[in-house]
Structure 1
C-alpha cells in the first residue's frame, strides 16, 4: 500500500528523483541528509530532472531565468530534497514537522523577488504535508553565484518519528 505522502505525489503526477548525478570530475564528500536524534538536517539541494541530472534552466534570476522558471526550479528542488529524505528515513510519513528552510537564489544585480521564487518550494511542501506538519520558518536570500550555475539551492531541517 502506498504511503500518504507518496500517494499525494503520485496523484499530482510528481516523481522523486534519485540522488544527484554530479558533473564529471565533481566529488560531493558530504551527507545529503544527516540524522541526529529525531532531526534530519538537509544539505543544500538544487533542481533535478527525474533521472537525477541537474535541471535547466541555468543562470541567474532577473537575467537568464524568469520568476516563473525560478518558482518551478524551487519546486523541483523540493522533490530532490524529498527524494533524499525518503532514502534517509525510509518513509516520508515519518516526518512530523518541517522546522526550517533556507532558500538561496542566484540573483542578477537588482533582482529582489527571492521570496516569490522560494514560494515554489514552500507551496509544494504545504500542499503535500498540510499546514500542521508543512509549516516552516524560512529565509529567501539572493546569492551572487550558486554551484553548477543552478538558479536555486535550498537546505532545511525536519523532525520525524523515531
Structure 2
C-alpha cells in the first residue's frame, strides 16, 4: 500500500467516492476537478463529502448554525475529498511532492472572524499526512457565501513528480 494511503488507514480515515449531487441540485459542472499541467496540479474548489460522495452536513454559516469545531471538522472532510479526487487522477498520492497553496473559503455569519482556525482543519490534516516538508503550504482563509450553504470549500495547487 502507498505511504499516504497507509497513513490514512492508520488514522481510521477513508477517502470518499466522487461527488454525487442531489437530484434537486443537479447542474452542469463544465470544469475539471483536478487539472494537471506538467508538474503543477490545480485542484478546483471541493466541499466536504460523506463516504458515498454525497455532500456532508451540517449546512449553514460558521458562527451561527455551525460551531468553530464543526467548521474545523468540515474542513478536514474537504481535504479528504480533494485527496480522493487527486488519487483518481494521479493514481498514487505519493506522487505529490509539495502542497503549494490552499484557498479556504468559509461560509461565515456576520461578525465571525476566526476563518484561519476553521481552515486549520484542512491544513492540519495535510501536514499530518504528508509531513511538514511536503504538506506545509501557503494559505488564505476568507469569509464568503458558499453554494448549497456548505460551511467550507477549498481549492489548492500542488506539485507532483514528473
* TM-score, normalization by structure 1: 0.97
Separation (CA, whole Å) in 1 of partners of 2:27 and 2:72:
27
Deviation at 1:70, TM superposition (A): 0.2
Give the C-alpha shift of residue 26 in structure 1: 2.1
Equivalent in the alignment of 1:57: 58
Q: Quote the RMSD (CA, aligned, Å).
A: 0.6
Measured after TM superposition, the shift of residue 23 of structure 1 is 2.4
Cα distance in structure 2, aligned partners of 1:21 and 1:150: 15
Count of paired positions: 160
* Residues in 2 aligned to 1:83 and 1:39: alpha-carbon distance in whole angstroms: 17
- Provide structure 2 residue ranges, at least 5 long, that are not aligned to the other structure: none
Q: Which residue of structure 1 aligns with residue 43 of structure 2? A: 42
Match of 1:93?
Answer: 94
Which residue is 1:20 aligned to? 19
Q: What is the alpha-carbon distance in structure 2 between the residues aligned to residue 116 and residue 154 of structure 1?
A: 14
Runs of 4+ in 1 over 6 A off after TM superposition: none
Q: Deviations over 1:79-101 (max 9, x none)?
A: 00000000110000000000000
5 Å-filtered alignment, 1:5-154, equals: 5-24=4-23, 25-143=26-144, 145-154=145-154
